């Protein structure tokens, strides 16, 4: 049986092609690292990451809204009447945050829809346990053409949604009621 051996030329081509392939893989990894460096910082370790229920103002009961603070700094909120809002957040201190989000609705009533935007610019303070927060800031309301209609103050508390703390357990009301009588 004749054993075939590679010629030095063939071996050098294989080594060269392998080296080119490895270099290409290395450059691809370098490109990915560069792209990652240009995206927002992953804030996955932040205690605000998770699902929250904004508590309605007891003086003006309304359906609950729910929000998700994503680890990448994205924010999504849903409410039954106003639809969805999108936004961004960042950590500014140990338990302090900035939040900016936009709803495509300018009608504050639960009965209507007004084309335009309601942009919330909020500062947040998270409690020591990480299960409740207080937020305050402003809402900038603009019509569909971008003309400012109003700027109003806004403040609300929120509660972290968990399997133990949620509307189904009764620990967070689904629709808070103002001055609900107790027996």
Q: Average of pLDDT values for 44-60?
A: 82
**Token pair 């309304």: residue:** 62
Domain ranges of the chain: 9-39, 50-169
Q: Rounded to an integer, what is the distance from CA 93 to the centroid of its chain?
A: 18
What are the structure tokens assigned to 41, written together?
């910082």
d(CA 57, CA 11): 76
What pLDDT score does 35 carry?
Answer: 34
What pLDDT score does 169 carry?
Answer: 79
**C-alpha torsion angle, residues 28, 31, 32, 37 (rounded to 10):** 160
What pLDDT score does 61 carry?
Answer: 65
Per CATH, is 50-169 categorized as 2.30.110?
no
Query: pLDDT tens digits, residue range 29-51?
Result: 444 333 333 334 555 579 999 99
What pLDDT score does 95 carry?
Answer: 96
């Amino acid at each position: 049986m004749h054993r075939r051996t590679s010629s030095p030329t063939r071996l050098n081509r294989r080594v060269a092609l392998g080296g080119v392939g490895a270099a290409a893989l290395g450059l691809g990894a370098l490109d990915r690292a560069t792209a990652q460096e240009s995206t927002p910082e992953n804030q996955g370790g932040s205690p605000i990451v998770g699902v929250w229920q904004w508590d309605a103002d007891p003086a003006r009961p309304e359906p609950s809204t729910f929000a998700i603070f994503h680890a990448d700094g994205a924010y999504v909120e849903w409410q039954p009447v106003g639809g969805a809002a999108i936004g961004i957040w960042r950590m500014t201190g140990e338990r302090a945050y900035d939040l900016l989000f936009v709803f495509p609705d300018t009608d504050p009533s639960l009965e209507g829809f007004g084309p335009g935007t309601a942009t919330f610019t909020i500062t947040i303070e998270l409690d020591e346990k990480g299960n409740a927060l207080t937020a305050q800031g402003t809402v900038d309301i603009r019509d569909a053409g971008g003309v400012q209609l109003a700027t109003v103050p806004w403040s609300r508390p929120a509660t972290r949604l968990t399997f133990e703390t949620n509307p189904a357990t009764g620990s967070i009301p689904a629709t808070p009621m103002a001055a609900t009588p107790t027996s």
